[in-house]
Amino acid sequence: MNTNINVGQLISQIGNIITQVIGYGLLLLIAAAVVGRYGVRVPYVPAVNVTELTWLCGAYWLYRGGRIT
C-alpha cells in the first residue's frame, strides 16, 4: 500500500478548516447579537458589543481577501 502525503496540501487543508471554524464562530456571534436585540438570551455565547463585533467582522473580511464579489 503506497500512501504519499503531500505536506503542503495537508497544511493548506488544516488552514482552510480553521478559517471555516472561525467563520462559523463569527456567524454564531452575529446570530446571538441579532436575537439578543429581541430579548432572547443564547446560553454559552458571550454577549458582544456592537463595536467589538464590527471589528471582528472587518478583520475576518480583510483576512479572507477584502473583496466584494
**What are the pLDDT digits (tens) for 26-62?**
888 888 888 888 888 878 877 777 888 888 888 888 8
| 0.85 surpassed by pTM | no
* pLDDT tops 80 at residue 1: no
Arithmetic mean of pLDDT, 11-15 = 92
Give me the pLDDT at residue 69, please: 59
Give me the pLDDT at residue 13, please: 92
Handedness of CA 50, 22, 60, 31 (dihedral sign): negative
Cell of 13: 487543508
What are the extents of the domains in the chain? 7-63
> How confident is residue 65, by pLDDT bands cut at 50, 70 and 90?
confident
Number of other CB atoms surrounding residue 33 within 10 Å: 17
Cell of 26: 463569527
Q: What CA–CA distance (Å, rounded) separates 19 from 68?
A: 18
